[in-house]
Amino acid sequence: MATDSSHSHSRSSNTATHGQIEEHPDIVSLRNRYAAVSAKPMAGLIEGLCLLTGLYLAISPWVVGFDNFTSLQISNLVTGIALAVLAMGFGSVLERTHGLGWVAVAIGIWTIVAPFAVIGSADTTRTVTNNAIVGGVACLLGLCTMAMSLMNRRRRAH
C-alpha cells in the first residue's frame, strides 16, 4: 500500500517530466512552426470562412425555409455548430487541430448528402441547392486547412 509521501514523490517527478517534455527542442520547434502558419493572413481567412460557413449552416434551415423538414433542420443545426466549433479550434489551437481538416470535409459531404439521406427525397430545389453549396464550401475549406498543414510539413522537410 502506498503512503502519502510516495504519492507526492510520484506527483512531483511526473510534473518534472512534464516540464522537461514541454521544453524539448522538437516540441518547441513544432509549436513555433504552427504559430507561424496560423499567423499568416491566409490561415485567418480560411478559419474565419470556416466559422461563418458553420454558423450559416446552423441557421440555414430558417433562412432558406426548410419548413416541412424538421430532421434536416436538426441535421444542419448540429453539423453547423460542429463546423463552427471546429473552426474556432483551428483559430485558437492550430497546433493541436491541424489534423482535423478532414472533419470539415466529412461535414461538407454529409451536408450535400443530408437532404436525400435524412428526408428520403428532397423535393424542393432550395434545400438541395443550399446544402450543396454550403457542403461544397465546407469541403473546400477543410481541404485548404489540410493543405496548410501539408505545406508546413514540406517546408520543414526542405
Per residue in 99-134, pLDDT (tens digit) is: 777 888 999 999 999 988 887 666 678 888 999 999
87 assigned to some structural domain: yes
152 assigned to some structural domain: yes
Report whether 97 contacts 89 (CB < 8 A): yes
119 assigned to some structural domain: yes
Report whether 134 contacts 111 (CB < 8 A): yes
Per residue in 6-36, pLDDT (tens digit) is: 444 444 455 555 566 767 676 666 566 655 5
Sign of the CA dihedral running 120, 133, 66, 84: positive
30 assigned to some structural domain: no
In this prediction the pTM is 0.68
Number of domains in the chain: 1
46 assigned to some structural domain: yes
* CA neighbours closer than 13 Å in the CB half-sphere of residue 1: 2
60 assigned to some structural domain: yes
- Domain span including residue 148: 41-157
Q: Residues 6 or more apart from 53 whose CB is under 8 A from it?
A: 83, 87, 134, 137, 138, 141
25 assigned to some structural domain: no
User: Above pLDDT 70, what percent of the chain?
Assistant: 60
